[in-house]
Amino acid sequence: NTAKKNYDCTVFDDPLALQNGELDKAIKGGDRVIICCSRKSEAKFLAWLYRDYGAIAIHRDNANEPLFKGFFENPIQWLATKQPKILIVSPILRSGFSITSDSFDKEFCFFHADSISASTALQLSERYRLPVPRYIYAAQSSGKYRHVTPESLLKTRKKRAIATDNDEIEFVDEYD
């Protein structure tokens, strides 16, 4: 259980173990699931993979489609009407968005460290407010940003400020 909330969480270090284990078992067992993904491509893939089970994915590319009309304004009504067995969401759901109706039996999360920050991952995982079992895969960083240092960021920022050919360079403070 988490310290502040009564969520039963299981953390995985292998996404395939989570997908081929608990997620497959839940879906094939008829559980209603919400799946949070840090990558749009993963949301699309999981929607394709579970299409025969009625999976619906919402992400930046399709959020304005007619299927999702009303979802952001009134998710409880949308869920009551559509009754998805599998809802897959990307980081399009942000702070302030809440699902408080009994719409899902379990929550699954696939988070990649180089896609979203830890705080954004936590925000996304808590959009569904009810205390259902949560299964989380959280990848360690691939080292993609290892080369980024404060010095390299400052150097790049100065070059970009000079390139704008205005007074923007005056606002770059290397001690800030």
Tens-binned pLDDT, residue by residue, of the chain (176 aa): 444 567 788 888 777 877 888 999 999 999 999 999 988 888 999 999 999 999 999 998 999 999 999 999 999 999 999 999 999 998 887 667 888 889 999 999 888 766 777 777 777 788 888 889 999 888 775 555 566 666 766 777 677 777 777 666 666 666 65
Instruction: Find the helix or strand (DSSP H, E) in which 55 lies.
Output: strand 55-58
Positive or negative, the Cα torsion across 92, 67, 98, 31? negative
Q: What is the pTM of this model?
A: 0.75
What are the residue ranges of helices labelled H in the chain?
15-17, 24-28, 40-49, 75-82, 118-125, 150-163
